[in-house]
Structures are given as structure tokens and as C-alpha cells.
Amino acid sequence: MRRGIKQKFNTIKTMQDLQAYYQQQFSNFWAKSFPDKTCPPLPKKLEDVGLSVRLAMEEEAPELFQNLFRSDYSAMPADTATRLRENRLWTDDIPVLKQYGWTAKAKELEGQVQEAKRIIAEKKLAEMKARNDEVEKRNRERPKGMQFAQPLPYEQVLKAREQWGISGN
């Protein structure tokens, strides 16, 4: 019996600490984003904030937005929810995550996509540079003029002169 009461007390204490933490985060966000406006109480649902606040929070404080307004796993499509639980999301999941309030996770995934694109671009650039350096080296080391080609056989020269109407004199 005592153990159950103690566990319930710890859960309530943790929830209060979490609530205080979210209030502090919301207060900091509000002071930074809307310094000329009075800070409202911590919103409990998405309808408690206006569109400008929502957009600003999604952009500037995606973790706070996610902690306050995200949907439960059961509300989102099962395939995305499964990948989210297993931390193996696809790029196609980004709009779904945003739709269901998982803005921090969506932003993290977008960052990973951008980093992957940057690495791919750097790799392609390095490959192009290596190819260009190889061509430049070959061109530098190639003999100048027509020295690199074998002379044509005499019969071929005579045949070409005959076809083009050039006399042998």
C-alpha cells in the first residue's frame, strides 16, 4: 500500500516538475518572440494559441511545440507511428510528423536529409575534381603537336591524295 502511494506521489511530483519546465520554456519563447506582448498562461491545447504564435513556436521552439501539442501515436497513420517508435523514419514521414505535432522530430529528420544531401554533393564534387585533375595531368604529360600519332602508311597517303584530287608533285 505504501509503495503505491509513494509511486503516485513521485508521478505527481514529476508531472509538476515537467509542467514548471514547460512554463519556463514557454515564457522564454514568448519573451524572445513577442517581447512587446504580455505572456499568456501555458496553452493546454493548440486552439489556445493563434496562428502567428503557432508558426513562431513551430519554427523557433519545435521541441516545446511538440511537447505541448503532439498527437498520440494512435492518432497518426500506423506505419509512421511504427517507424517513429523504432526511430527509422523516412523522408516521406516529415509532413505526417508535422501534421500530428511532432515538429522537433520532423525538424531533426529534415536536418538529417540536408546533411545527407550536403555529403552527397561534396562526394560528387570530389569525384569531379579527381576526374578533372586526371584529364589535366594527361593533357600536361601528352607530347605536343602531332608527335603522339604514328605516321600514316604510304599507301594510305596515296589513296587519300587520289580521292581528294591532289597530284603527287
Mean pLDDT in runs of 10 for the chain (169 residues)? 54 72 92 93 90 92 91 91 93 94 93 96 97 92 74 89 83
The C-alpha atoms of residue 20 and residue 35 are separated, in whole angstroms, by 21
Show the CA angle centred on residue 11, arms to residues 99 and 45, nearest 5°. 30
How many other C-beta atoms can be found within 10 angstroms of the C-beta atom of residue 46? Answer: 14
The pLDDT score that the predictor gives to residue 46 is 87
pTM: 0.62
The C-alpha atoms of residue 41 and residue 154 are separated, in whole angstroms, by 98
The pLDDT score that the predictor gives to residue 57 is 94
The pLDDT score that the predictor gives to residue 4 is 53
DSSP secondary structure code for residue 38 in this structure: -
Q: 147 is written with which cell numbers?
A: 608527335
The pLDDT score that the predictor gives to residue 148 is 67
The C-alpha atoms of residue 117 and residue 122 are separated, in whole angstroms, by 9
The pLDDT score that the predictor gives to residue 10 is 57
